[in-house]
Chains A and B, each alone.
Chain A
Amino acid sequence: MSDATLEQSRRALGEAERQRERSERRRGFILALPSFAYMVIFFAIPLVIVLVYSFATRTSTGSTALSDWNLDAYRKLGEPIVRNVVVRSVILALITTLVCLVVAYPFAWFCATRSALTRNLLLVAVMIPFWTNFLVRNYAWRILLSAGGPISSFTEAIGLGETNILFTKTAVVIGLVYAYLPFMILPLYASIDRLDRRLVEASSDLYASGPQTFRRVVLPLTMPGVIAGSILVFVPSMGAYVTPELLGGGKETLLGSYIVTQFLTARNWPVGASLSFVLMAVMLVSTIIYFRSGGKNL
């Protein structure tokens, strides 16, 4: 072949390769389009609307004027009343996360160390309540926890007297733990399942006791699951609305109900919007930070 024809064929092949890359990119974009459109329409655009409203002005009649853009709503978030609601919600979400973690870890460990059949059955059992209507489950807890309910009858029967947990913080935590436990179990299960059992044996071979092995080897290596599960429980617990209303009786205002109040009762849309947006932003940022750093450590 002469140099000229060689050069010609090289050019033709280069062109064919570029064309193939272009068509592959186009195909990927078309496949992603439906989910992309869905996210834009039902997530991004509403988020922008919320953001816009947070800078709007509340008129004296309680309607919202999309003019005179200002930061009043954000300033209001610094007031003690809002701060108390935030602190209370954070504490409740932390307790919920912690209880979930303590309950889920041994269960996830148990699951991950069973035979394939048993673990699948157990995981399905974890998911079943999840497919039941959320409200139904909350009302079920109302019955269980109420003064004349089964739990109360039981404690009375064994001589501990009547218990009345309904409409307390405890009831809210119980309800939230129940609701979000699967979110904790699944990532924990995944990370424990991935843990190389030989590392546990190696630790024991190197004179570590059970608790030492857990603290030095098992926990650090399953930390990605712990953190992922904690985020997945903490985030929805922070904004929970239905459970605190139904099981807590709305006695103590939490973030979710406070935001609802701002929109529906106080008719202060800018404050509701700003609070929603800040809550969302904090969660989003912390999640991103986690997955960025987690991606490198794993």
Chain B
Amino acid sequence: MSEPPGSDLNPAAAVSLRGISKFFDDVTAVDHVDLEIGDGEFFALLGPSGCGKTTTLRMIGGLEIPSEGSLRIFGDEVGPLPPNKRPVNTVFQNYALFPHMSVADNVAFGLRMRKVDRAETASRVAQAISLVRMAGMENRRPAQLSGGQQQRVALARALVNRPKVLLLDEPLAALDLKLRQEMQFELKQLQREVGITFVFVTHDQEEALALSDRIGVMNEGRLLQVGTPEEMYDAPVDRFVADFIGRSNFLAGTLEDVSTVCLANGTRIRVPAVDAEIAAPGSAIQVSLRPERVMIADESAAPEGAASLSGRVSAVTFLGNSIVYHVGLDWMTVEVETDHRPDLRRHAVGDDVVLWWRDDAIAVVRP
């Protein structure tokens, strides 16, 4: 999690937000966000629509002014500066290419506004256009381009200015699935090539997992957790995060001490040591259990020593590469996903089974 508020600013951070909030009339769009994004990082702000991720991005880009807090880009306070006075550029959702200008004029726009001389403009524009593999299309109008091509032009138009930070607002949302996967790959490649810090906003968890070095999950204006894709998946600290990234079972319980949870049915289980920031001993928590991390076996085959739960299979769903079992316990239903392999025992509806897991398969989350 983020450091406690008031800790010193990291001067190496590309973008640093301290206590940033944004209010629209009486609506709190962004609520005291603390965040540091490192130089050269590919960072994703992930969350459902209306969670404040786009507003956060717009504040970094200068399209919104924060209501409170401090916003720095490479150490310089930029909170109140307009967009044209910041070393960042944005790739807009739906690209916002200028429809009355050619591809080349679109890409050259930023350089012309900053009065970069003609020869340099021409060479940088050509370079940017070839970087996004749009050479030969310089004289087309945006309307004559496909969605993927417009996307590339929007990238070139931003990158040509050599921003210190590139902001991308749902950059792939307007593309169809196949193109989106291609562009994901290209975007990642491009970021490695130019070495610029990328901050992008998405509601697509798969996209966030696939592209980013680190992810920040937002909900209702608050930044819930920041971490690498693996951390976010394996060790979520908030029920919302565990639910939004991947699928999960949530078992209610009470934290007895730092590494013991008493589940609602009285079963005691061991858990990885719980940070005091997430929950104090004695408080009500939830345990997140990924379906594919739960083991399932006939009742007679229960392992020795490990905590286990017994139940009865209530539904079986065949998904090709995997099988999903719904197992009814007395007090809740647990989803279990196993590989579809001939050597694995296949359970049927009505079978009595036991479920168990490795201690490190679970995460204690804020309810």
Contacts and interface: CB of A to CB of B under 8 A. Distances in A.
Interface in B131-174: 157-158, 161
B111 to A, nearest CB: 9
Q: Which 6 pairs across A and B sit closest by C-beta, in order of nearness?
A: A206-B110, A202-B96, A198-B96, A207-B113, A208-B113, A204-B83
B34 to A, nearest CB: 25
A221 B84 contact: no
A68 interface: no
B92 A201 contact: yes
B341 interface: no
Interface in A206-264: 206-209, 212, 216-217, 220-221
Interface string B82-125: 11100011101110111110000000011001100000000000
B63 interface: yes
B100 A201 contact: no
B90 A217 contact: no
Nearest to B154: A202
A198 B90 CA distance: 11
A221 B92 contact: no
Nearest to A202: B96
B101 to A, nearest CB: 9
Interface in A159-186: none
Interface residues of A, number: 17
A196 interface: yes
A79 interface: no
Given A201-B83, A202-B90, A216-B109, A207 B114 contact: yes
A208 B109 contact: yes
B253 interface: no
A212 B94 CA distance: 23
A216 B96 CA distance: 14
Given A207-B113, A208-B113, A216-B109, A202 B98 contact: yes
12 contacts: A196-B96, A199-B96, A201-B96, A202-B97, A205-B83, A205-B89, A206-B89, A206-B110, A207-B114, A209-B84, A221-B98, A221-B99
B152 to A, nearest CB: 16
Contacts of A196: 96
- Which of B93, B109, B161: most chain A CB closer than 10 A? B109
Given A202-B90, A205-B89, 12 more contacts: A198-B92, A199-B99, A201-B90, A201-B92, A201-B96, A204-B62, A204-B84, A205-B83, A205-B84, A206-B158, A207-B113, A209-B113
Contacts of B63: 201, 204-205
Contacts of B97: 202
A203 interface: yes
A205 B98 CA distance: 13
A204 B81 CA distance: 12
B61 interface: yes
Contact of A198 (B82, B94, B110, B157): B94
B96 A207 contact: no
Interface size class of B (residues with CB under 8 A): 20 to 34
- Which of A196, A207, A209, A220: most chain B CB closer than 10 A? A207
Nearest to A217: B98
B39 to A, nearest CB: 21
Interface of A: 196, 198-199, 201-209, 212, 216-217, 220-221
A153 B68 CA distance: 51
A198 B63 CA distance: 10
A163 B113 CA distance: 46
B28 to A, nearest CB: 21
A204 B94 CA distance: 17
B100 A205 contact: no
Contacts of A207: 84, 110, 113-114, 161
Nearest to A196: B96
A220 B141 CA distance: 15
Contacts of A212: 113
A208 B100 contact: no
A218 to B, nearest CB: 11
Given A205-B89, A207-B110, A208-B113, A220 B100 contact: yes
Contacts of B157: 206
A152 B155 CA distance: 60
A217 B101 CA distance: 9
A206 B82 contact: no
A209 B88 CA distance: 15
B83 A221 contact: no
B92 A202 contact: yes
Nearest to A200: B96
Given A216-B109, A217-B98, A208 B84 contact: yes
Contacts of A220: 100
Nearest to B85: A207
Contacts of A198: 92-94, 96
B131 to A, nearest CB: 17
Nearest to B114: A207
A199 B109 contact: no
Contacts of A203: 98, 109
Nearest to B109: A206
A69 to B, nearest CB: 50
B179 to A, nearest CB: 21
A209 B100 CA distance: 19
A196 B109 CA distance: 17
Nearest to A221: B100
B169 to A, nearest CB: 9
B94 A205 contact: no
Contacts of B90: 201-202, 205
B61 A205 contact: yes
B161 A206 contact: yes
B42 to A, nearest CB: 20
Contacts of B96: 196, 198-199, 201-202
Nearest to B93: A198
Contacts of A206: 84, 89, 109-110, 113, 157-158, 161
Contacts of A221: 98-100
B261 to A, nearest CB: 48
